[in-house]
């Protein structure tokens, strides 16, 4: 089983809709969780950290389910500019212990 798994998509979603996708991780000792965003042919950038109690940043909500070992990202009122690849990132200890998922490709359609 891969350490961090994501549905690659693409998710084709109409503008204004709500979209959610999950990421599963295999290491139960994982400590920190993040969502990064990567635009086409650009570098990844931190979107938000994921806290145990769940957290919200504007239209974006991230949640962590330790029992089932997954994190989720929900985007409300999607915008065309939300089109990107969303990378799930898990830190499992050790200074180099960041593992990136392969990403979920999201396309917001007008």
Partner 1 sequence: GAGVSQSPSNKVTEKGKDVELRCDPISGHTALYWYRQSLGQGLEFLIYFQGNSAPDKSGLPSDRFSAERTGGSVSTLTIQRTQQEDSAVYLCASSQIILFGELFFGEGSRLTVL
Judged by beta carbon, residue 25 or residue 101, the one nearer partner 1 is 101
Give the distance, in angstroms, between the CA of residue 9 and the centroid of all CA atoms in the same chain: 12
Helix, strand, or coil (residue 82): helix
Judged by beta carbon, residue 28 or residue 43, the one nearer partner 1 is 43
Q: Within 3-62, which residues bind partner 1 (CB under 8 A)? A: 32, 36, 42-46
1 is a contact residue toward partner 1 (CB under 8 A): no
22, exposed or middle or buried, with CB in 10 Å at 0-12, 13-18, 19+?
middle
The 80-109 contact track toward partner 1, x by CB under 8 A, reads -------x---x--xxx-xxxxxx------
Judged by beta carbon, residue 41 or residue 68, the one nearer partner 1 is 41
Could you tell me the two tokens for 66? 């330790």
Measuring CA to CA, how many Å separate 82 from each of 16, 29, 93? Answer: 11, 31, 31
Interface residues with partner 1 (CB under 8 A) are 32, 36, 42-46, 87, 91, 94-96, 98-103
């Amino acid at each position: 089983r891969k350490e961090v798994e994501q549905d690659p998509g693409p998710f084709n979603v109409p503008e204004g809709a709500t979209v959610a996708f999950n990421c599963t991780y295999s290491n139960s000792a994982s400590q920190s969780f993040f969502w990064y965003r990567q635009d086409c042919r650009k570098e990844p950038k931190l979107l938000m950290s994921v806290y145990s109690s769940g957290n919200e940043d504007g239209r974006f909500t991230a949640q962590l389910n330790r029992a089932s070992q997954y994190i989720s990202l929900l985007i409300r009122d999607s915008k065309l500019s939300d089109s990107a690849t969303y990378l799930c990132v898990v830190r499992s200890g050790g200074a180099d212990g960041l593992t990136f998922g392969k990403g979920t490709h999201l396309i917001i359609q007008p």
